[in-house]
Amino acid sequence: MPGGHLQTLHAALVASRPRVTYRRERWDTPDGDFIDLDWLDSHSRDDKRPLVALFHGLEGSSRSHYAVALMAALGATGWRGVVVHFRGCSGETNRLRRAYHSGDSAEIDWILRRLRGHAGAQALYAVGVSLGGNALLKWLGEQRVAARDVIAAAAAISAPVDLAAAGEALGRGFNLVYTHHFLVTLRKKTLAKLARFPDLCDRGLLLRARTMREFDNVVTAPLHGFRDTDDYWARSSAKPLLGAIAAPTLVINALNDPFMPASALPRDSEVSRAVRLELPASGGHAGFVSGAFPGRLDWLPSRLLDFFRGTVTAA
């Protein structure tokens, strides 16, 4: 159940959280904003090792448990790693009115193309978790074969590829605990922006928002060019594009993910031959705790690295 998943994940975090040292770099965006990237600095940066870029989930960061676990595994393996922060998620408010959203494949595009230069002659791999996973899959589906000129392979973890199904699930029952957690920081960030842009949104409606549907209708949708929540969720969902993906891609969604009903998860018939679809019975939302209580968080990084190594062998 969701409550049990939260307790198990928290125990695993306390028991096995590795230490990771980052070096921060700021990039200006094409539209005059900025993003911050945290580079894994366990080894010096050079052009002789593969590079793995991670796009985090809603209100995530380089300190999210899955980011730390993956970067620690990369450091132990001798690979390079970088966590890309979406706008406003690195601890500093971004410059523009806009923020980030689940379907921002244009943001994924320019970032990966710039990272392609950092990778040099070596392979560039992309990982997206939750919101970042949906945006990455959307980019892969839109780019089709062209994506293979940028990345060697990709992986999406706990991606809400059907945003309407995920949004409705987050608006019910125990899942409102997760929603409240997200809204605390989303509301705080939006209020800070309202001080700079008084016409950003309706303050009263913002303060009254209790579900992701309500928040997206007041803030996310209008800020990013969508008519309303339904338009945003429909146009940003990656599920309709999974059949067009041409780059080797691993998609992992647990059947007990509280954010995504099993009935809304993609089927083999809905993905291309380039997509490896894995639907484990357990794992919750981006948890995937393994071993005896309190558990470990090493299963997911190991699976990702095995998949990426396998794509090199297959090629």
The pTM of the full predicted model, rounded to 2 decimals, is 0.93
Query: Quick check: is 257 catalytic?
Result: yes
**Which pLDDT score, from 0 to 100, does residue 18 have?**
79
Residues 75 and 191 in one domain: no
Residues 66 and 184 in one domain: no
Task: Indicate the DSSP class of residue 244.
Answer: G
**Which pLDDT score, from 0 to 100, does residue 297 have?**
86
Looking at 191, 212, 236, the residue that finishes a domain is 236
Asked if pLDDT for residue 184 goes beyond 60, the answer is yes
Query: Quick check: is 47 catalytic?
Result: no
**Which pLDDT score, from 0 to 100, does residue 252 have?**
98
What band does 41 get if pLDDT is binned at 50, 70 and 90?
confident
Residues 130 and 68 in one domain: yes
Contact yes or no for 61/21 (Cβ under 8 A): no
Give the three-class secondary structure for 138.
helix
Which range (44-53, 64-73, 132-141) has the least confidence? 44-53
Query: Quick check: is 130 catalytic?
Result: yes
Which range (152-166, 253-267, 269-283, 294-308) has the least confidence? 294-308
Q: Quick one: what percent of the chain has pLDDT higher than 90?
A: 84
36, 162, 216, 257: which is the annotated catalytic residue? 257
Residues 144 and 261 in one domain: yes
**How is the chain split among helix, strand and coil, in percent rounded to 5?**
45, 15, 40
Looking at 236, 252, 279, the residue that finishes a domain is 236
Residues with Cβ within 8 Å of residue 157, at least 6 apart in sequence: 66, 127, 128, 129, 130, 133, 252, 253, 286, 300
Give the three-class secondary structure for 8.
helix
Closest CA to 246 of 306, 301, 300, 311: 311
Residues 100 and 180 in one domain: no
Residues 147 and 117 in one domain: yes
**Which pLDDT score, from 0 to 100, does residue 3 have?**
47
Q: Quick one: what percent of the chain has pLDDT higher than 70?
A: 91
Hey, what are 150's tokens? 């940028």
Residues 144 and 190 in one domain: no
130, 158, 236, 237: which is the annotated catalytic residue? 130
Residues 283 and 143 in one domain: yes
Asked if pLDDT for residue 44 goes beyond 70, the answer is no
CATH number at residue 291: 3.40.50.1820
**Which pLDDT score, from 0 to 100, does residue 312 have?**
72
What band does 294 get if pLDDT is binned at 50, 70 and 90?
low
Residues 9 and 104 in one domain: yes
**Which pLDDT score, from 0 to 100, does residue 271 have?**
98
Print the domain residue range for 192: 164-236
Residues 127 and 205 in one domain: no
Residues 202 and 150 in one domain: no
Looking at 183, 206, 236, the residue that finishes a domain is 236
Cα distance between residue 81 and residue 74, in whole Å: 7
Number of domains in the chain: 2
64, 101, 285, 298: which is the annotated catalytic residue? 285
Residues 168 and 151 in one domain: no
